[in-house]
Each structure stands twice: as C-alpha cells, then as structure tokens.
Amino acid sequence: MKPGQIPLEERIIFALDFDSTEKAKQWVELLEHRVRFYKVGLQLFLAGWFHIVEWILNRGHKVMVDLKFFDVPETVKLAVRQLRNRGVTFATVHGNDPILRAAVEEKTDVKILAVTVLTSFGEEDMVAMFGRPCRVEDLVFSRAKRAIEIGCDGIVSSGLEAQRLRSQLGDKFLIVTPGIRPGKNIEIREDDQKRIVTARQAILNGADHVVVGRPISTATDPLAVVVSMQEEIRRVSAA
C-alpha cells in the first residue's frame, strides 16, 4: 500500500504501553473511532499474551507486535512462526543479517520491520557501544539498506533519518517512526526519547506510520492530541 493510500486512521499507531489488559482495553475503546492501529509491546504482551492481541483484532483494528525479536536465528524463526495466521500486521526484529534473514524466511502473512537504532539512542551512546564516534544516521542507513536487501518489509527509525532513507533507498519499503512529539509543547514525564520529531515532520520526511504513546496517554485531552496529529498528517499527505 502506497503512503497516499494508507487510511488516516491507520497512520498513527497508538502504543499500548500499559501494565494491564484492562487499561489497554480502556484506551482502545476511547480512541478507536479515530485510531485503528495499535502497538502491543513487551509490557502488555507479557500481561495479556495473545488474548489482548486477539481482542484488538476482533474489534476490527490492526496490531503491531513490537517484541523486537533478538536471539539466535533458529529461535527467531520459531518465534516469528508463532505469529502465523494470527492477523498481526507488523512484527519487529532487532538483530544482525542472519537474524533478519531467519525472520523473513518465516514471516508468511506478517510484515517484518527491522529495528535500526532505538530512538532513545544519541551520538554519545554510539561511543559507548562502539568505543569510537559513530553517526547515528550512518548506522541507521547501513542497517536499513541491509534489511531491505534481505527482504524485510520495512524498518523502524526516527523521523530524522527517514528523509535520507527515502531519497537513497526508494519507496518500496515501509518506514515506521517512533519518538513522535506534538507540534505544541507538552510535558512528557520521564521522557527517554532523544531523536524526536513531530508527526508532520516524520510524514514529510517519508514515514508511513508514526508510533505515539505518552504524548497521547499523558495529555489532558488525548483525543484532541490525536486529532491535531492527524490533521498535520492529512495536510502533508494532501500536499
């Protein structure tokens, strides 16, 4: 599906980063007439297992299972196999070429997104990881290029890198962007994201979907934040 064909209600993937299925269900029920795509990460998946995934799907919505599979290739292959025929749209994998290749070989009906560099990482973290300076943008590009060549359906990267990925790697893959913050200033408690952009900038730079959690869940008026972000996305998509 080309970016212009993605329904506005599916552009924002709301991150259900909650510690219980009850909280997650309350948020889906609150947002579902505006948002039809939800992320189930480690915390919620461990709390609700596949039951919460199935509950969301049964309401007619899409699910991104964000477990960032990282293990020996055979284990990753078997993990991805568990997602077969469950109606999941996206699954995330975070690893080297053999790990990504194993996931791609087993993916069937689920799209595999390769995590490039977490949006909580900055340049100083690159030094800690590699023992020398390394530009985040270059590492993201290198990992994205290999992931696409291997056969991944898309990548997860910040909106800061999306423009280079689109201009140099084309439009035959998905870009899903976390680290989204509203255009209007809002206080996010315990914000661990470093490479952040607005929804407008992410889409303008080439992202297909934006993953948003705390800017919505901590807002005084969550639906107003959703509407505002969707309007940003609509204007960019229509331009």
The CA distance from 24 to 132, in Å, is: 41
pLDDT above 70 covers what percent of the chain?
A: 85
Query: Is the pLDDT confidence value at 127 over 60?
Result: no
Tens-place pLDDT, residues 39-98:
999 999 999 899 999 999 999 999 999 999 999 999 999 999 999 999 999 999 998 999
Which residue type does 220 have?
A: T
Domains observed in the chain: 9-238 (3.20.20.70)
Average pLDDT over residues 102-123: 83
The CA distance from 100 to 92, in Å, is: 10
Query: Is the pLDDT confidence value at 197 over 90?
Result: no
Catalytic annotation present for 107: no
Give the active site residue among 23, 68, 145, 194.
68
The CA distance from 229 to 80, in Å, is: 32
pLDDT at 132: 56
Q: Are 9 and 35 in contact (CB under 8 A)?
A: yes
Query: Is the pLDDT confidence value at 188 over 50?
Result: no
Of 161 and 98, the one with more pLDDT? 98
